[in-house]
A and B are shown apart, each in its own frame.
Chain A
Amino acid sequence: MNFLGFGPSSTIEVDFGGAERRTVTIKGDGGSAETLPLFSGVETLAGQVRVTPPPGKKLEHTGVKIELLGQIELMFDRGNFYDFINLVHNLDAPGELSAAKVYPFEFSRVEMQYESYNGVNARLRYLLRVTVARSYSSNLVKDFKFWVRNVSEAPQINNSIKMEVGIEDCLHIEFEYQKSKYHLKDIVVGKIFFLLVRIKIKHMEIEIRRRESTGSGPNTYNESDTIAKYEIMDGAPVRGESIPVRLMLTPYDLTPTYRNISNKFSVKYYLNLVLVDEEERRYFKQQEITLYRRDL
Chain B
Amino acid sequence: MSAPEATLSPAEEQQKWLTETTNNVKQHAYYMKQAIDDNNLREALKHTAAMLSELRTSQLSPQKYYALYMKACDELLHLESFFRELHKGGRSIAELYELVQHAGNILPRMYLLITVGSVFVQSKDAPAKDILKDLVEMARGVQHPLRGLFLRAYLAQCTKDKLPDQGSEYEGEGGDVKDAVEFLLQNFTEMNKLWVRMQHQGSPRLKEKREKERQELRDLVGKNLLVLSQLEGVDLEIYQELVLPRVLEQVVNCKDEIGQTYLMDAIIQVFPDDFHLNTLETLNKALGQMQPTVKTGSVLASLMTRLSRYALESPEVIPKFEELQAFSLLREAVKKVSEIQTDVAMLDLVTLYQALMSFVVQVHKASLDKVDEVLAEAATVLAAQNQAVSGKAVTELVALLSAPLSVYDVVPILSLQAYPKVMELLEEPVRKEMAVTIVRSVLKSNTCITDSEKVDTLFGFISLLIKDDGLSEPEDEEEFEEQQCLVSRLVMLLKAPQPKSQLAILNTVRHHFGMGGPLRLKYTLPPLVFAGLRLITQVQKGEDVEEGEKVSRKTIFGFLHQTVQALGSNGQPGLAMRLYLQCAAAANANGFEDIAYEFFTQGFLIYEEEISDSREQVTSLQLFIGTLHLCTCFGQENRDALVHKCTTYSSRLLKKSEQCRAAYSCSHLFWVPGSKDSENVALCLSERRMASTPQMGAQGSATVAAASLWRYLYFFDEGNTAVTVQLLQGLMDLIAEEMAKTQSDDAEGSNQTENFYASTLRHIKHKKAEGGEVGARYAELNV
Q: Please give the residue numbers on chain A whose beta carbons come within 8 Å of chain B beta carbons, in ascending order.
A: 203, 228-238, 241-244, 246, 248, 250-251
Q: A233-B141, A242-B140 are in contact. List 12 more A-B contacts (CB 8 A).
A: A230-B104, A231-B105, A231-B106, A234-B141, A234-B143, A235-B143, A235-B147, A238-B197, A243-B141, A244-B140, A246-B101, A251-B102
Are the CB atoms of A244 and B137 closer together than 8 Å?
A: yes
Distance, CA A233 to CA B193, complexed state (A): 16
CB of B579 to closest CB in A, whole Å: 85
Chain B: how many interface residues by the 8 Å CB criterion? Answer: 22
Residue on B nearest A247 in the bound complex, by CB: B101
Distance, CA A232 to CA B143, complexed state (A): 10
Is B201 an interface residue when CB atoms closer than 8 A count as contact? yes
CB of A230 to closest CB in B, whole Å: 6
Contacts of A248 in B (CB 8 A): 98, 101-102
Are the CB atoms of A236 and B144 closer together than 8 Å?
A: yes
| A interface SS class | strand
Distance, CA A242 to CA B201, complexed state (A): 19
Residue on A nearest B190 in the bound complex, by CB: A241
Are the CB atoms of A243 and B143 closer together than 8 Å?
A: yes
Distance, CA A227 to CA B245, complexed state (A): 47
Interface centre among B141, B193, B197, B201, by most chain A C-beta atoms within 10 angstroms, is B141
CB of B444 to closest CB in A, whole Å: 61
Q: Known: A242-B140, A243-B140, A243-B143. Is A234-B106 also a contact (CB below 8 A)?
A: yes
Are the CB atoms of A244 and B106 closer together than 8 Å?
A: no
Contacts of B140 in A (CB 8 A): 241-244
B98-118 to A contact mask, C-beta < 8 Å, 1/0: 100110111101000000000
CB of B151 to closest CB in A, whole Å: 9
Are the CB atoms of A246 and B138 closer together than 8 Å?
A: yes
Q: Please give the residue numbers on chain B whose beta carbons come within 8 Å of chain A beta carbons, in ascending order.
A: 56, 98, 101-102, 104-107, 109, 137-138, 140-145, 147-148, 193, 197, 201
Residue on B nearest A238 in the bound complex, by CB: B197
A-B contact count (CB 8 A): 54
10 contacts between A and B (CB under 8 A): A231-B105, A233-B106, A233-B143, A234-B56, A234-B105, A234-B147, A235-B144, A238-B193, A242-B140, A244-B141
- Out of A229, A235, A238, A251, name the residue touching B142 (CB < 8 Å): A235
Distance, CA A232 to CA B98, complexed state (A): 15
Contacts of A233 in B (CB 8 A): 106, 141-143
CB of A24 to closest CB in B, whole Å: 22
Distance, CA A282 to CA B142, complexed state (A): 19
Q: Known: A236-B143, A243-B143. Is A231-B98 also a contact (CB below 8 A)?
A: no
- Closest 6 A-B residue pairs measured CB to CB? A235-B144, A235-B143, A237-B143, A231-B106, A251-B102, A231-B105
Distance, CA A34 to CA B106, complexed state (A): 34
Contacts of B107 in A (CB 8 A): 234
Q: Known: A230-B104, A243-B140, A248-B98. Is A236-B201 also a contact (CB below 8 A)?
A: yes
Distance, CA A233 to CA B138, complexed state (A): 10
Interface centre among A229, A233, A234, by most chain B C-beta atoms within 10 angstroms, is A234
Residue on B nearest A237 in the bound complex, by CB: B143
- Out of B109, B137, B148, name the residue touching A235 (CB < 8 Å): B148
CB of A224 to closest CB in B, whole Å: 19
Interface centre among A230, A231, A235, by most chain B C-beta atoms within 10 angstroms, is A235
Contacts of B106 in A (CB 8 A): 203, 231-234
Distance, CA A54 to CA B106, complexed state (A): 61
Contacts of B144 in A (CB 8 A): 234-236
CB of A275 to closest CB in B, whole Å: 12
Distance, CA A238 to CA B105, complexed state (A): 21
Contacts of B138 in A (CB 8 A): 244, 246
Distance, CA A242 to CA B109, complexed state (A): 18
Contacts of A241 in B (CB 8 A): 140, 143
Distance, CA A113 to CA B188, complexed state (A): 55
Distance, CA A248 to CA B138, complexed state (A): 14
CB of B107 to closest CB in A, whole Å: 6
Residue on A nearest B145 in the bound complex, by CB: A235
Contacts of B98 in A (CB 8 A): 248
CB of B96 to closest CB in A, whole Å: 13
Distance, CA A166 to CA B201, complexed state (A): 22
Q: Known: A244-B140, A246-B138, A248-B98. Is A231-B104 also a contact (CB below 8 A)?
A: yes
Residue on A nearest B139 in the bound complex, by CB: A244
Distance, CA A251 to CA B99, complexed state (A): 9
Contacts of B148 in A (CB 8 A): 234-235
